[in-house]
Amino acid sequence: MTTILHLSDLHIGADSNARNLGLIINHINANYGEDVPIAITGDLVETTSHRMYKTCASLLKRLLPRPLWIVPGNHDLCAKGVDIGLGLDADYDLWEKYIRPLMAPTKRHLPYIWHHGGLQIVGLDTMAGTMGDWIADTARGAVGKRQLYALTQLLQHTPTIVIGHHRVHWDDTWHRLRDAEAMAHIMEPRAVAYLCGHQHKEERVEGNGTVYLASHQTTYPALRYAEVTIGEAIERRWVWL
């Protein structure tokens, strides 16, 4: 049985989110050992700036040496999470400078791959298939063909948890992956679970052998994170501050 803490949509730089994240980190450090991994499914910052990234990284460092599994969201790669419509590529420089060094060694380009307690964890960039294609709103992401192919290869044998920012199952198509059907086809039933955020709403969907768990915003307005237990069944308990 494996326990994973799930945080999402920290949005450091907006409201009182930096202070709130500090309170959450204090609670985690007081209640969980250093072997409990933490998955953070995107939108770490409100908008792309050195100041916001530096603040976020300094807070997350307080969770070390716990394993940190972190993937980017639309706000992490684009100003306010919106492409200005010129087909510009996402700028990964700030992500590489401040966030990737917090994680256990893994290759530079996503998907990230980690291992813990007999599980394989695959971290996806759900913005990879959205930039450079003249869209105006990146709220609806895409995994892209390269990562989908990689995921197909990675899901051959080891029990796997997949994490990403955008949702696979969601009625609001503007906040769901554009290649959601291809993603579900690859994951089910070979992935144990998919953890995500993005829409700031709780959701649990029972797929064909794959459980989809979407998180609230962790830092605002109510402070909470999820404790996910992976065993014969997958259980999720909300921890409220």
How far apart are the C-alpha atoms of 121 and 158, rounded to whole Å?
10
- Give the number of residues written for the chain: 241
Could you list the beta-strand ranges (E) of 117-157.
Answer: 119-123
Contact 98, 53 (CB under 8 A): yes
| pLDDT exceeds cutoff 60 at 207 | yes
Looking at residue 176, what is its pLDDT? 79
pLDDT in tens, 189-198: 999 999 999 9
Looking at residue 2, what is its pLDDT? 95
Q: Which of 119-123, 131-135, 166-170, 229-233 has the lowest mean pLDDT?
A: 131-135
How far apart are the C-alpha atoms of 106 and 114, rounded to whole Å?
7
Looking at residue 89, what is its pLDDT? 59
Buried b (16+ CB within 10 A) or exposed e, 104-128: eeeeeebbbebebeebbbbbbbbbb
How far apart are the C-alpha atoms of 143 and 177, rounded to whole Å?
7
How is residue 182 written in tokens? 């291809």
Q: DSSP states of 166-203 as a string? A: SBSS-S-GGGB-TTHHHHHHHHTTTEEEEEE-SSSS-E
Angle among Cα 213, 216, 219 to the nearest 5 degrees reads 140
Confidence label for 169 from pLDDT (cuts 50, 70 and 90): confident
| pLDDT exceeds cutoff 70 at 238 | yes
Over residues 220-238, mean pLDDT: 96
Over residues 146-156, mean pLDDT: 94
How far apart are the C-alpha atoms of 209 and 227, rounded to whole Å?
20
Q: Is the pTM of this model over 0.75?
A: yes
Q: Which residues does 168 contact at the CB level (< 8 Å), separation at least 6?
A: 176, 177, 180, 183, 184, 187, 194, 196, 212
pLDDT in tens, 91-109: 788 999 999 999 976 666 7
Looking at residue 167, what is its pLDDT? 92
Contact 164, 196 (CB under 8 A): yes
